[in-house]
Copies of this chain bind each other. A is one copy, B any other.
Amino acid sequence: MDSAVSFEKLTEQFRRMPGIGAKTAMRLAFYVLELPKNEVEELAETIREAGEKIHRCPVCCNLTDEELCPVCKNVNRKHGLICVVENVESLMAIENTKEYGGVYHVLHGVISPLDEVGPEDITLKELLARVNEGGVEEVIMATGSNVEGELTAMYISKMLKPLGVKVTRLAYGLPVGSDLQYADSVTLSRAIQGRQAL
């Protein structure tokens, strides 16, 4: 049917979002149209404001709307321990464990020759500058355990080692609560290699 142009534009905008199909996009568009005018305005303003205010933390490249991100600003965290992550989602996942007291470095991507993402496309220059400034004792590589994550971890490790900083990698092994018989052989062989004394 010929529906309203503004409605179609709105549906199209939702349709582009990750994980949103045609039906959900339409449902979201109807949701917006049924909101009171002031709430539509508020939604539009929140999006605009986020786009304007949120920027990368000049230290760790985490997203923030203040000068420094909340992690870098926190004086109680160990600023000599840097955990390198691919994206802000990974950072949040680590924060949720409440186990980590250091700071972060967000790469905003991984080195991936197939996707034409090279070392200069992620925030390596910023990481190098931080380590060169001194005071960094350990860098934990927390990129994914897939090919690109591994490649990026290796690259960064080679880049930082000459500077005399300790570089570590997250442990590989069986996920907690998993059955041994269902583990894939690569994970299992890594778990054997990385076995620890009890």
Binding site for B on A (CB under 8 A): 1-7, 9-10, 13, 17-20, 24, 26-33, 35, 37, 40-54, 63-66, 69-71, 87-89, 91-92, 95-96
Of chain B, the residue at the smallest CB distance from A27 is B18
Q: Which residues of B contact A49 (CB under 8 A)?
A: 6, 9
SS of A interface (majority): helix
A41 to B48, CA, bound (A): 6
Q: Are A65 and B5 in contact (CB under 8 A)?
A: yes
Q: Which residues of B contact A51 (CB under 8 A)?
A: 32-33, 35, 37, 40-41, 44
Q: Sorted from nearest, which 9 A-B pairs have the closest CB atoms?
A: A40-B51, A1-B95, A2-B70, A44-B48, A4-B65, A44-B44, A44-B47, A10-B50, A6-B50
Q: Which residues of B contact A33 (CB under 8 A)?
A: 50-51, 54, 63
Q: Are A92 and B50 in contact (CB under 8 A)?
A: no
List 20 A–B pairs whose Cβ atoms lie within 8 Å, in order of A's numbering: A1-B92, A3-B92, A4-B66, A6-B49, A7-B54, A7-B63, A7-B65, A13-B43, A13-B46, A13-B47, A27-B89, A29-B50, A30-B87, A33-B51, A37-B51, A40-B52, A41-B48, A43-B47, A44-B48, A44-B51
A47 with B47: in contact, given A3-B70, A24-B19 (CB under 8 Å)?
yes
